[in-house]
Amino acid sequence: MQVNRSEKKLFVEKFSESCGSYPCMIVVRQVGLSASAVSLLRKNARAAGVVFQVVKNNLAKRAFEGDSSDIRECFKGPLGVFFSQDPVAASKIVDDFSKKREANFYPLGGILNNKSLSRVDIGRLATLPSLDQLRGRIMGVIMAPASNLVGTINAPAQSLVRVVSAKNKKQEQGE
């Protein structure tokens, strides 16, 4: 299927816009993936709030003309690109999917907040807790002192109740 000049220009503009609107972009090699595998990948990515797009190398390179990062070197052979607001979510999708299909699917590199990511960096990001998990942990840390304070304040009253209850039981047994 031939793509005319205006369609190519439109793709480059949209791709550049996506690159600018997401802080995280991961480029992956995808060789010989079936249509069902790509559909599953897109479904998993969408569920995690990540956008997956198959790109043409020449057009993707045009989007990065004049860019100082070495991401242009990744655009060789059949590949796809993940865009995400949460770099950990995108990295986990890539890492999980590449473990199932080692030879056919693997990360090549990426960009996070205008800094280059290597394959190793992407693997490290995948081991971090997600943004939601981090928020939960932070809330737990914030709430712990308040919870401990309430327990400390209630402790004398609880002790008094136990003493009175024990005295009442002792008197009932003595009668």
Class of domain 5-128: alpha beta
Q: How far apart are CA 9 and CA 32, in angstroms?
A: 27
Is residue 68's pLDDT more than 80? no
Written as one letter, the residue type at 167 is K
Query: Which three-class secondary structure string do you get for the chain?
Result: CCCCHHHHHHHHHHHHHHHHHCCEEEEEEECCCCHHHHHHHHHHHHHCCEEEEEECHHHHHHHCCCCCCHHHHHCCCCEEEEEECCHHHHHHHHHHHHHHCCCCEEEEEEEECCEEECHHHHHHHHHCCCHHHHHHHHHHHHHHHHHHHHHHHHHHHHHHHHHHHHHHHHHHHHC
The predicted structure's pLDDT at residue 102: 62
Q: What is the pLDDT of residue 103?
A: 66
Is a pLDDT exceeding 80 seen at residue 67?
no
pLDDT, tens digit, for every residue of 69-113?
677 777 888 888 899 988 888 899 888 888 877 667 888 888 888
Q: How confident is the model at residue 34 (pLDDT cuts 50, 70, 90)?
A: confident
Domain positions in the chain are 5-128, 130-175
| Predicted structure pTM score | 0.70
